[in-house]
Amino acid sequence: MMFPWYLWVVLGIVFFTLEIVTPGFLFACFGVSCLSAGIVSSLGAGIELQILSFTLMTLVTFFGIRPFMLRYLSSSESNVPTNVDALIGKKALVVETIDPLRNKGRVVVGGENWKAISLNDAIIETDTEVVVVKVDGIKLVVRPEIKQ
């Protein structure tokens, strides 16, 4: 009995479509395997060879290729800095005195006005140049710039 090659291809396309909506390279393994079985079928092989091709290719892609793809995806997504992270280390100018007791203080960095707090709870006067140490929610934690 021959299983038509185009049915393998259609099944492969279905698996690739499922992969798009459920990432993780699980359905992609089956999609590649279906295409492999479709090629074997188009060469005139019987159903036994088609199933063998599907099974072997599933094992190769699932245990051979999938772990590398998952590692590649997880490593590229985990260390993506946000735009706010780019402010760390930048110089800023105090435009409203930073006073931790009154919970006041603003700085301008890169043309944007931010609420600021000082690193060591010190009062930092207006027009003082500071350096952004970290971002704490919607506030910048700053310290006075050390002049050399």
Q: Are residues 47 and 106 in the same domain?
A: no
Q: For residues 8 and 31, give the distance between their C-alpha atoms in angstroms, rounded to a whole number.
A: 9
Q: Are residues 72 and 111 in the same domain?
A: no
- For the four alpha carbons of 130, 135, 141 and 143, in that order, the dihedral sign comes to negative
CATH number for position 110: 2.40.50.140
Residue 92 confidence class, pLDDT cut points 50, 70, 90: very high
Segment (H or E) for 47: helix 47-60
pLDDT 10s digits, 127-148: 999 999 999 888 999 999 887 6
Q: Are residues 71 and 88 in the same domain?
A: no
| Structural domain ending residue among the three candidates 56, 78, 100 | 78
Containing domain of residue 128, as a range? 84-144
The total number of structural domains that make up the chain: 2
| CA distance readout (Å), 95 to 105, 106, 113, 115, 134 | 8, 6, 9, 10, 18
